[in-house]
Structure 1
C-alpha cells in the first residue's frame, strides 16, 4: 500500500496557513461578503484561504491537479487535491464557530478515484481531525499530539444518534418520508450541520449522519476520516466514497439500515 504520510504532513501545513487567514477575519466588522450565482455567500476569507492553499500546492506539488469550491478545477492527472476553504460559510458570516477548512487528496487507481488523505481543521473550535489511507484517523493539535479515532459499536437504530444539517433538500430529492421515518426510529436526532456530524461519527459520539445534496469538496476529506476511523461513507444510494452528490456516513454496523430509509428517490 502506498505511503501518503508526506501528503498528510503537507495537508497540515496547508491547513495551518488557511487557519491563520480565516481566523484573522472571523467576526471582523468590515468582513466583505458577496453572493455567488447559486445564492450562497462567499467571503474574502474563503477566497484568501483557497488562494493560499493553491499557491502552496503549486510549489510543493506542481504536477497535482486541484479542485476548489471558489476557483474551480486546475490541472489534470492521477492525483487531485480537493479544497473547501470554509465549509460553513453562513456560520462564519454570522460569527458561529462551527466552520472548517477541508483538504483532501484523491488518487486514481485501478478501481477508480479514491480519497487517501483528509484534513478537517476547525480553528474557532480549537479542533482538527485527519487521516491517511492505512494509517488510521486522529484528532488533536498536532501530528505528535493526537488521539486515534474509532466509530461507535451501536448496532440498533433505536439506540442510535442521527445527525443531519437541515430539513431543506430532502423533499426536493424525494427522500423526505424516509428521512422523517428514520428520525422517528432513532434514539436521538440533532441538526449539527456541515462537517461536524461526520467528525462525530468518526469519534463515535454520533452513529449515523446524512445529507441529501452536496459537492465533492463538502465530502472528500470527511470520507477519508470516517473510513479510517472504521466507518462507512457512501452516497444515499450506496455508491462508495464522496462522488455521488450526497452522503451517508455511519459506524458501519448501521449503514444498511441508514440506506434502507434514505436510499432511492
Structure 2
C-alpha cells in the first residue's frame, strides 16, 4: 500500500500558510463579499486562500492536477488535489467561527488524504489511507481519533444541515422521521458535522447537496477513523452530490431511511 507521509506534511504546510490569510480577513471590516452565479457568497479571503494554495502546489507538486471551488481545474493525471479554501463561507462572512480550509488528495479517483484546518476553532483534523485519523495543531502534537460504538438509532446523536436543502431533494419528511427517532439532534453544520463523527462525538451526519470539493478531504478522515462516508445512493466516497457519514454501525439503517435509491433497504454494506 502506498504511503502519503510527504503529501500529508505538505498539506500541513499549506494549511499553516493559508491560515494567516483567512484569520486576518475573518471579521475584517473591509471584507469584500460577492455573489457567484449559483447565488452562493464568495469573499476576497476565499479567492486569496485558494490562489495561495494553488501557487504553492504549482511549485511543490507541478505534475499534480488541482481543482477547487473558486477556479478551474489545472493539470491532469492520476493525482489531483481538491481544495475548498473556506468551507462555511456563509459562517465566515457573518463572523461565525465554524469554517475551515479543506485540502484533499485524490489518486486514481479515490480520496486518499484529507486535512481540515479550522483556525477559528483552534482545531485541525487529518488522515491518509492506512495512517489513521488524527486531530491536533500539528503532526508532532496529535491525538488519534475514532468513531463511536453506538449501534441503535434511538441512542444516536445526529448533526444535520438545513431543512430547506432536504426539501429540495424530496427527503425532508424522511429526515424529520429520522430526527424524531434519534436520541439527540443538532445542526453543527458543514465540515464540523463529519469531523464530530470521526471523533465519536456524533454518530450520523447527512447532507443533501454537496460538491466534490466539500467532501474530498472529509472522506479519508471519516474512513480512517473507522466510519463510513457515502452518498445517499450508497456509493462510497465523494461522487454522489450529497453525503452520509456515520460510525459505520448505523450506516445501512440510515441509508434505508434517507437513501435516494428505490432499493435503499438492500444497499450493499461496502
Q: Taking structure 1 as the reference length, what is the TM-score of the superposition?
A: 0.97
Q: C-alpha offsets along residues 208-234 of structure 1, whole Å, 9 cap, x if unaligned?
A: 110001000101111110000000000
Residue 129 of structure 2: aligned partner: 133
Residue 174 of structure 2: aligned partner: 178
Residue 24 of structure 1: aligned partner: 24
Give 1:8 deviation, angstroms.
0.5
Alignment partner of 1:216 is 2:212 = yes
Residue 191 of structure 1: aligned partner: 187
Q: Quick one: distance in 2 between partners of 1:180 and 1:79? A: 39
Alignment partner of 1:52 is 2:52 = yes
Q: Taking structure 2 as the reference length, what is the TM-score of the superposition?
A: 0.96
1:219–1:242 CA contact under 8 A, matched in 2: yes
Q: Quick one: distance in 2 between partners of 1:95 and 1:171? A: 27
Runs of 4+ aligned structure 1 residues displaced above 2 Å come to none
Alignment of 1:1-265 (within 5 A): 1-108=1-108, 113-264=109-260
Give 1:237 deviation, angstroms.
1.0
- Unpaired stretches in structure 2, ≥5 consecutive residues: 262-270
Give 1:76 deviation, angstroms.
0.9
Backbone CA RMSD of aligned residues: 0.7
Count of residues in Structure 1 that have an aligned counterpart in Structure 2: 261
Q: Quick one: distance in 1 between partners of 2:17 and 2:234? A: 35
Q: Quick one: distance in 2 between partners of 1:176 and 1:91? A: 23
1:116–1:132 CA contact under 8 A, matched in 2: yes
